[in-house]
Structure 1
Amino acid sequence: MSPLSIVLIGFAMSTDAFAAAVGKGAAMRKPRLPDALRAGLIFGVIEAITPVIGWLLGRAASQYVEAFDHWIAFGLLGVLGVHMIVAGLKPDDGEDAGSPESGKARHGFWALAATGFATSIDAMAIGVGLAFLDVHIGVVALVIGLCTLTMVTLGIMLGRVLGALAGKRAEIIGGVILIVIGSSILYQHLGGAA
Protein backbone atom coordinates (compact mmCIF):
# COMPACT_ATOMS: atom_id res chain seq x y z
CA MET A 1 0.00 0.00 0.00
CA SER A 2 1.44 3.35 -1.04
CA PRO A 3 1.95 6.26 1.39
CA LEU A 4 -0.61 8.29 -0.59
CA SER A 5 -3.19 5.52 -0.16
CA ILE A 6 -2.54 5.47 3.58
CA VAL A 7 -3.00 9.25 3.84
CA LEU A 8 -6.20 9.07 1.78
CA ILE A 9 -7.51 6.35 4.10
CA GLY A 10 -6.61 8.58 7.05
CA PHE A 11 -8.58 11.52 5.69
CA ALA A 12 -11.48 9.32 4.59
CA MET A 13 -11.73 7.87 8.09
CA SER A 14 -11.68 11.35 9.64
CA THR A 15 -14.55 12.87 7.63
CA ASP A 16 -17.32 11.65 9.96
CA ALA A 17 -15.34 12.87 12.95
CA PHE A 18 -14.84 16.25 11.24
CA ALA A 19 -18.58 16.68 10.65
CA ALA A 20 -19.35 15.66 14.23
CA ALA A 21 -16.70 18.12 15.46
CA VAL A 22 -18.32 20.97 13.56
CA GLY A 23 -21.53 20.12 15.38
CA LYS A 24 -19.76 19.89 18.74
CA GLY A 25 -17.92 23.16 18.11
CA ALA A 26 -21.18 24.88 17.21
CA ALA A 27 -22.76 23.63 20.42
CA MET A 28 -19.84 24.68 22.64
CA ARG A 29 -19.80 28.19 23.99
CA LYS A 30 -16.82 29.83 22.36
CA PRO A 31 -14.38 26.89 22.30
CA ARG A 32 -10.75 27.93 22.37
CA LEU A 33 -7.86 26.25 20.59
CA PRO A 34 -6.93 24.17 23.68
CA ASP A 35 -10.55 22.88 23.78
CA ALA A 36 -10.36 22.02 20.07
CA LEU A 37 -6.98 20.29 20.51
CA ARG A 38 -8.31 18.30 23.47
CA ALA A 39 -11.30 17.11 21.43
CA GLY A 40 -8.99 16.39 18.48
CA LEU A 41 -6.71 14.33 20.70
CA ILE A 42 -9.61 12.31 22.15
CA PHE A 43 -11.07 11.63 18.70
CA GLY A 44 -7.61 10.97 17.20
CA VAL A 45 -6.59 8.42 19.83
CA ILE A 46 -9.89 6.56 19.55
CA GLU A 47 -9.78 6.68 15.74
CA ALA A 48 -6.21 5.28 15.83
CA ILE A 49 -7.10 2.46 18.24
CA THR A 50 -10.19 1.16 16.44
CA PRO A 51 -8.47 0.01 13.22
CA VAL A 52 -5.91 -1.85 15.34
CA ILE A 53 -8.77 -3.58 17.18
CA GLY A 54 -10.35 -4.41 13.83
CA TRP A 55 -7.04 -5.67 12.50
CA LEU A 56 -6.64 -7.89 15.57
CA LEU A 57 -10.11 -9.34 15.04
CA GLY A 58 -8.98 -10.35 11.55
CA ARG A 59 -10.71 -12.76 9.20
CA ALA A 60 -12.72 -14.58 11.80
CA ALA A 61 -14.65 -11.52 12.95
CA SER A 62 -14.94 -9.56 9.69
CA GLN A 63 -18.39 -10.83 8.77
CA TYR A 64 -19.71 -10.01 12.25
CA VAL A 65 -18.24 -6.49 12.46
CA GLU A 66 -19.35 -5.55 8.95
CA ALA A 67 -22.80 -6.95 9.62
CA PHE A 68 -23.67 -4.45 12.36
CA ASP A 69 -21.10 -1.61 12.44
CA HIS A 70 -23.53 0.77 10.75
CA TRP A 71 -26.26 0.01 13.30
CA ILE A 72 -23.88 0.72 16.21
CA ALA A 73 -22.77 4.03 14.64
CA PHE A 74 -26.39 4.97 13.84
CA GLY A 75 -27.56 4.17 17.37
CA LEU A 76 -24.76 5.99 19.19
CA LEU A 77 -24.88 9.07 16.97
CA GLY A 78 -28.68 9.12 17.09
CA VAL A 79 -28.81 8.98 20.88
CA LEU A 80 -26.10 11.64 21.21
CA GLY A 81 -27.86 13.81 18.62
CA VAL A 82 -31.24 13.59 20.35
CA HIS A 83 -29.56 14.39 23.68
CA MET A 84 -27.97 17.51 22.17
CA ILE A 85 -31.29 18.62 20.61
CA VAL A 86 -33.12 18.18 23.93
CA ALA A 87 -30.37 20.14 25.72
CA GLY A 88 -30.62 22.90 23.09
CA LEU A 89 -34.38 23.16 23.53
CA LYS A 90 -34.16 23.56 27.30
CA PRO A 91 -34.41 27.21 28.31
CA ASP A 92 -31.46 28.78 30.09
CA ASP A 93 -32.06 29.04 33.79
CA GLY A 94 -30.35 31.99 35.34
CA GLU A 95 -27.93 30.12 37.57
CA ASP A 96 -26.00 28.14 34.94
CA ALA A 97 -26.63 30.14 31.79
CA GLY A 98 -23.04 31.17 31.31
CA SER A 99 -21.53 28.59 33.59
CA PRO A 100 -18.51 26.73 32.25
CA GLU A 101 -19.70 23.67 34.18
CA SER A 102 -22.82 23.31 32.00
CA GLY A 103 -20.72 23.25 28.84
CA LYS A 104 -18.22 20.85 30.39
CA ALA A 105 -20.97 18.40 31.28
CA ARG A 106 -22.25 18.23 27.69
CA HIS A 107 -18.80 18.31 26.10
CA GLY A 108 -16.74 16.48 28.70
CA PHE A 109 -14.39 13.59 28.14
CA TRP A 110 -17.03 10.84 28.09
CA ALA A 111 -19.37 12.71 25.72
CA LEU A 112 -16.47 13.38 23.34
CA ALA A 113 -15.20 9.81 23.68
CA ALA A 114 -18.65 8.37 22.91
CA THR A 115 -18.94 10.56 19.81
CA GLY A 116 -15.39 9.66 18.81
CA PHE A 117 -16.16 5.97 19.17
CA ALA A 118 -19.39 6.27 17.20
CA THR A 119 -17.61 7.95 14.31
CA SER A 120 -14.77 5.41 14.35
CA ILE A 121 -16.76 2.20 13.89
CA ASP A 122 -15.99 2.27 10.15
CA ALA A 123 -12.29 2.53 10.97
CA MET A 124 -12.60 -0.74 12.87
CA ALA A 125 -14.07 -2.38 9.77
CA ILE A 126 -11.21 -0.90 7.70
CA GLY A 127 -8.79 -2.48 10.18
CA VAL A 128 -10.41 -5.85 9.60
CA GLY A 129 -9.94 -5.38 5.84
CA LEU A 130 -6.31 -4.37 6.32
CA ALA A 131 -5.65 -7.67 8.08
CA PHE A 132 -5.74 -9.26 4.59
CA LEU A 133 -3.21 -6.83 3.09
CA ASP A 134 0.55 -6.49 3.42
CA VAL A 135 0.45 -3.27 5.42
CA HIS A 136 1.92 -2.14 8.75
CA ILE A 137 -1.17 -1.49 10.87
CA GLY A 138 0.78 0.76 13.27
CA VAL A 139 1.63 3.22 10.48
CA VAL A 140 -1.94 3.22 9.17
CA ALA A 141 -3.38 3.71 12.67
CA LEU A 142 -0.96 6.58 13.37
CA VAL A 143 -1.89 8.32 10.10
CA ILE A 144 -5.61 7.88 10.76
CA GLY A 145 -5.16 9.25 14.28
CA LEU A 146 -3.17 12.29 13.12
CA CYS A 147 -5.62 13.06 10.30
CA THR A 148 -8.51 12.82 12.74
CA LEU A 149 -6.76 15.01 15.33
CA THR A 150 -6.22 17.66 12.64
CA MET A 151 -9.70 17.45 11.16
CA VAL A 152 -11.50 17.47 14.53
CA THR A 153 -9.46 20.44 15.76
CA LEU A 154 -10.36 22.34 12.59
CA GLY A 155 -13.98 21.20 12.86
CA ILE A 156 -14.35 22.44 16.43
CA MET A 157 -12.90 25.84 15.49
CA LEU A 158 -15.13 26.06 12.40
CA GLY A 159 -18.07 25.12 14.61
CA ARG A 160 -17.12 28.01 16.89
CA VAL A 161 -17.80 30.44 14.05
CA LEU A 162 -21.12 28.73 13.31
CA GLY A 163 -21.93 28.72 17.02
CA ALA A 164 -21.36 32.46 17.31
CA LEU A 165 -23.80 33.00 14.44
CA ALA A 166 -26.44 30.58 15.70
CA GLY A 167 -26.40 31.46 19.40
CA LYS A 168 -27.63 29.10 22.11
CA ARG A 169 -29.65 26.99 19.66
CA ALA A 170 -26.40 25.78 18.07
CA GLU A 171 -26.77 22.73 20.32
CA ILE A 172 -29.76 21.76 18.17
CA ILE A 173 -27.70 22.15 14.99
CA GLY A 174 -24.99 19.92 16.46
CA GLY A 175 -27.56 17.28 17.38
CA VAL A 176 -29.08 17.34 13.91
CA ILE A 177 -25.61 16.99 12.37
CA LEU A 178 -24.91 13.90 14.49
CA ILE A 179 -28.24 12.34 13.52
CA VAL A 180 -27.60 13.09 9.83
CA ILE A 181 -24.14 11.49 10.05
CA GLY A 182 -25.57 8.39 11.73
CA SER A 183 -28.38 8.17 9.17
CA SER A 184 -25.90 8.64 6.32
CA ILE A 185 -23.71 5.80 7.63
CA LEU A 186 -26.78 3.57 7.91
CA TYR A 187 -28.03 4.54 4.42
CA GLN A 188 -24.64 3.92 2.80
CA HIS A 189 -24.36 0.47 4.36
CA LEU A 190 -27.95 -0.58 3.71
CA GLY A 191 -27.82 0.85 0.18
CA GLY A 192 -24.57 -1.00 -0.49
CA ALA A 193 -26.06 -4.25 0.80
CA ALA A 194 -29.01 -4.08 -1.61
Structure 2
Amino acid sequence: MNFWELLVIGVGLSMDAFAVSICKGLSVRDLKPRHEVLAGIYFGGFQMLMPVAGFFLGYSFQGLISDVDHWIAFVLLGLIGANMVKEAFSKEEDCGCTDTSFGWRAMLPLAVATSIDALAVGVTFAFLKVNIWEAVGIIGVTTFVLSAAGVKIGNVFGAKYKSKAELAGGVVLILMGLKILLEHLGVLG
Protein backbone atom coordinates (compact mmCIF):
# COMPACT_ATOMS: atom_id res chain seq x y z
CA MET A 1 0.00 0.00 0.00
CA ASN A 2 1.24 3.44 -0.83
CA PHE A 3 1.11 6.57 1.33
CA TRP A 4 -2.18 7.81 -0.15
CA GLU A 5 -3.97 4.51 0.39
CA LEU A 6 -2.76 4.41 3.98
CA LEU A 7 -3.85 8.01 4.46
CA VAL A 8 -7.34 7.20 3.14
CA ILE A 9 -7.56 4.23 5.53
CA GLY A 10 -6.31 6.46 8.35
CA VAL A 11 -9.02 9.01 7.62
CA GLY A 12 -11.65 6.27 7.44
CA LEU A 13 -10.56 4.73 10.72
CA SER A 14 -10.39 8.08 12.48
CA MET A 15 -14.01 8.99 11.76
CA ASP A 16 -15.34 7.27 14.90
CA ALA A 17 -12.78 9.13 17.00
CA PHE A 18 -13.61 12.34 15.12
CA ALA A 19 -17.33 11.88 15.85
CA VAL A 20 -16.69 11.22 19.55
CA SER A 21 -14.33 14.21 19.65
CA ILE A 22 -17.11 16.40 18.29
CA CYS A 23 -19.29 15.17 21.15
CA LYS A 24 -16.53 15.85 23.67
CA GLY A 25 -16.26 19.37 22.27
CA LEU A 26 -20.00 19.80 22.74
CA SER A 27 -19.62 18.92 26.42
CA VAL A 28 -16.94 21.53 27.18
CA ARG A 29 -17.99 25.02 28.18
CA ASP A 30 -14.51 26.54 28.49
CA LEU A 31 -12.45 24.88 25.73
CA LYS A 32 -8.69 24.93 26.24
CA PRO A 33 -5.97 23.70 23.86
CA ARG A 34 -5.19 20.86 26.30
CA HIS A 35 -8.65 19.38 25.62
CA GLU A 36 -7.84 19.12 21.92
CA VAL A 37 -4.36 17.71 22.61
CA LEU A 38 -5.70 15.12 25.08
CA ALA A 39 -8.32 13.91 22.61
CA GLY A 40 -5.63 13.66 19.92
CA ILE A 41 -3.26 11.73 22.18
CA TYR A 42 -5.85 9.25 23.43
CA PHE A 43 -7.54 8.58 20.11
CA GLY A 44 -4.41 8.80 17.96
CA GLY A 45 -2.43 6.66 20.40
CA PHE A 46 -4.96 3.85 20.45
CA GLN A 47 -5.42 4.05 16.69
CA MET A 48 -1.66 3.32 16.55
CA LEU A 49 -1.60 0.54 19.14
CA MET A 50 -4.54 -1.52 17.92
CA PRO A 51 -3.33 -2.12 14.33
CA VAL A 52 0.03 -3.26 15.72
CA ALA A 53 -1.72 -5.81 17.93
CA GLY A 54 -3.91 -6.92 15.02
CA PHE A 55 -0.91 -7.10 12.69
CA PHE A 56 1.00 -9.49 14.93
CA LEU A 57 -2.12 -11.56 15.52
CA GLY A 58 -2.76 -11.76 11.77
CA TYR A 59 0.90 -12.40 11.01
CA SER A 60 0.87 -15.48 13.24
CA PHE A 61 -2.03 -16.94 11.21
CA GLN A 62 -0.92 -15.70 7.79
CA GLY A 63 0.47 -19.00 6.56
CA LEU A 64 -2.79 -20.79 7.28
CA ILE A 65 -5.01 -18.49 5.28
CA SER A 66 -2.82 -16.82 2.65
CA ASP A 67 -4.99 -18.14 -0.20
CA VAL A 68 -8.05 -16.23 1.05
CA ASP A 69 -6.41 -13.21 2.70
CA HIS A 70 -7.89 -10.77 0.17
CA TRP A 71 -11.38 -12.07 0.92
CA ILE A 72 -10.74 -11.65 4.65
CA ALA A 73 -9.55 -8.07 4.09
CA PHE A 74 -12.62 -7.36 1.96
CA VAL A 75 -15.03 -8.82 4.53
CA LEU A 76 -13.39 -7.15 7.55
CA LEU A 77 -13.20 -3.70 5.94
CA GLY A 78 -16.68 -4.13 4.48
CA LEU A 79 -18.22 -5.07 7.83
CA ILE A 80 -16.47 -2.26 9.68
CA GLY A 81 -17.52 0.23 7.01
CA ALA A 82 -21.11 -1.05 6.88
CA ASN A 83 -21.39 -0.73 10.66
CA MET A 84 -20.17 2.87 10.47
CA VAL A 85 -22.68 3.65 7.70
CA LYS A 86 -25.45 2.07 9.79
CA GLU A 87 -24.46 4.18 12.81
CA ALA A 88 -24.50 7.30 10.63
CA PHE A 89 -28.17 6.68 9.80
CA SER A 90 -29.12 5.66 13.34
CA LYS A 91 -31.76 7.85 14.95
CA GLU A 92 -29.94 7.59 18.27
CA GLU A 93 -28.53 10.98 19.19
CA ASP A 94 -26.33 9.87 22.07
CA CYS A 95 -22.70 10.72 21.45
CA GLY A 96 -21.55 8.20 24.03
CA CYS A 97 -19.68 10.81 25.98
CA THR A 98 -21.96 12.39 28.55
CA ASP A 99 -18.93 12.73 30.84
CA THR A 100 -17.41 16.18 30.32
CA SER A 101 -14.07 15.06 31.74
CA PHE A 102 -10.93 14.59 29.70
CA GLY A 103 -9.34 12.46 32.44
CA TRP A 104 -8.21 8.90 31.80
CA ARG A 105 -11.38 7.35 33.28
CA ALA A 106 -13.49 9.14 30.68
CA MET A 107 -11.07 8.99 27.74
CA LEU A 108 -9.65 5.47 27.99
CA PRO A 109 -12.93 3.61 27.34
CA LEU A 110 -13.73 5.97 24.45
CA ALA A 111 -10.26 5.50 22.94
CA VAL A 112 -10.53 1.70 23.17
CA ALA A 113 -14.07 1.65 21.78
CA THR A 114 -13.20 3.85 18.79
CA SER A 115 -10.07 1.85 17.94
CA ILE A 116 -11.49 -1.70 17.87
CA ASP A 117 -11.92 -1.34 14.10
CA ALA A 118 -8.20 -0.59 13.83
CA LEU A 119 -7.43 -3.99 15.39
CA ALA A 120 -9.21 -5.72 12.51
CA VAL A 121 -7.46 -3.48 9.99
CA GLY A 122 -4.14 -4.49 11.55
CA VAL A 123 -5.00 -8.13 10.84
CA THR A 124 -5.69 -7.12 7.24
CA PHE A 125 -2.33 -5.33 7.06
CA ALA A 126 -0.57 -8.57 8.04
CA PHE A 127 -2.24 -10.44 5.19
CA LEU A 128 -1.35 -7.71 2.71
CA LYS A 129 2.25 -7.45 3.99
CA VAL A 130 1.91 -3.72 4.69
CA ASN A 131 4.77 -1.92 6.45
CA ILE A 132 3.03 -1.73 9.83
CA TRP A 133 5.22 1.06 11.23
CA GLU A 134 4.56 3.37 8.30
CA ALA A 135 0.86 2.50 8.43
CA VAL A 136 0.40 3.15 12.15
CA GLY A 137 2.39 6.37 11.92
CA ILE A 138 0.06 7.68 9.24
CA ILE A 139 -3.06 6.42 11.03
CA GLY A 140 -1.95 7.81 14.40
CA VAL A 141 -1.05 11.26 13.11
CA THR A 142 -4.23 11.46 11.02
CA THR A 143 -6.38 10.47 14.00
CA PHE A 144 -4.54 12.89 16.29
CA VAL A 145 -5.18 15.81 13.94
CA LEU A 146 -8.82 14.92 13.22
CA SER A 147 -9.61 14.24 16.89
CA ALA A 148 -8.10 17.53 18.02
CA ALA A 149 -10.02 19.31 15.27
CA GLY A 150 -13.19 17.41 16.21
CA VAL A 151 -13.12 18.78 19.75
CA LYS A 152 -12.86 22.32 18.38
CA ILE A 153 -15.54 21.73 15.73
CA GLY A 154 -17.90 20.22 18.31
CA ASN A 155 -17.37 23.16 20.61
CA VAL A 156 -18.02 25.69 17.85
CA PHE A 157 -20.59 24.07 15.54
CA GLY A 158 -22.36 21.35 17.49
CA ALA A 159 -23.35 17.81 16.56
CA LYS A 160 -24.40 18.30 12.93
CA TYR A 161 -21.16 16.76 11.55
CA LYS A 162 -21.13 13.56 13.66
CA SER A 163 -23.26 11.39 11.36
CA LYS A 164 -21.62 12.77 8.22
CA ALA A 165 -18.19 11.81 9.59
CA GLU A 166 -19.33 8.27 10.35
CA LEU A 167 -20.93 7.91 6.92
CA ALA A 168 -17.80 9.14 5.13
CA GLY A 169 -15.55 6.86 7.17
CA GLY A 170 -17.73 3.83 6.51
CA VAL A 171 -17.88 4.42 2.78
CA VAL A 172 -14.10 4.89 2.62
CA LEU A 173 -13.44 1.58 4.39
CA ILE A 174 -15.92 -0.32 2.21
CA LEU A 175 -14.30 1.10 -0.94
CA MET A 176 -10.79 0.22 0.28
CA GLY A 177 -11.91 -3.35 0.99
CA LEU A 178 -13.45 -3.59 -2.47
CA LYS A 179 -10.28 -2.21 -4.06
CA ILE A 180 -8.13 -4.83 -2.26
CA LEU A 181 -10.44 -7.64 -3.41
CA LEU A 182 -10.54 -6.42 -7.02
CA GLU A 183 -6.75 -6.06 -7.15
CA HIS A 184 -6.22 -9.61 -5.89
CA LEU A 185 -8.78 -10.96 -8.35
CA GLY A 186 -6.95 -9.19 -11.18
CA VAL A 187 -9.81 -6.83 -12.05
CA LEU A 188 -7.78 -3.74 -11.11
CA GLY A 189 -4.15 -3.40 -12.14
- Code of the residue aligned with 2:143 in structure 1: it is T
Displacement over 4 Å in runs of 4+: 80-83
Distance 2:47 2:141 in 1: 9
- Is residue 46 from structure 1 mapped to residue 46 from structure 2 by the alignment? yes
Q: CA deviation at 1:82?
A: 5.9
Q: Mapping of 1:20-35 within 5 angstroms?
A: 20-35=20-35
Partner of 1:99: none
In the superposition, relative to structure 1, how do residues 158 and 82 fare at CA in structure 2: closer, same or farther (>3 Å)?
A: closer
Residues 63-119 of structure 1 show CA distances to partners (whole Å, capped at 9, x for unaligned) of: 8xx6x987xxx9xxx9x85672xx7xxxxxxxxxxxxxxx43xx3222112111111
Partner of 2:177: none
Secondary structure at the residue paired with 2:128? coil
Unaligned runs of 5+ in 1: 88-102, 164-172, 190-194
Partner of 1:146: 141
How many residue pairs match? The answer is 148
Unaligned runs of 5+ in 2: 63-68, 175-189
Q: Mapping of 1:104-115 within 5 angstroms?
A: 104=101, 107-115=102-110
Alignment identity in percent? 30
Partner of 1:166: none
Distance 1:113 1:156 in 2: 16
Pairwise CA RMSD: 3.5
- Asked if the contact 1:30–1:160 (Cα under 8 Å) also holds between the matched residues in 2, the reply is no
- Is residue 155 from structure 1 mapped to residue 141 from structure 2 by the alignment? no
Distance 2:97 2:153 in 1: 22
Distance 1:145 1:82 in 2: 22
Distance 1:47 1:23 in 2: 18
- Asked if the contact 1:55–1:127 (Cα under 8 Å) also holds between the matched residues in 2, the reply is yes
Distance 1:150 1:6 in 2: 15
TM-score (norm 2): 0.64
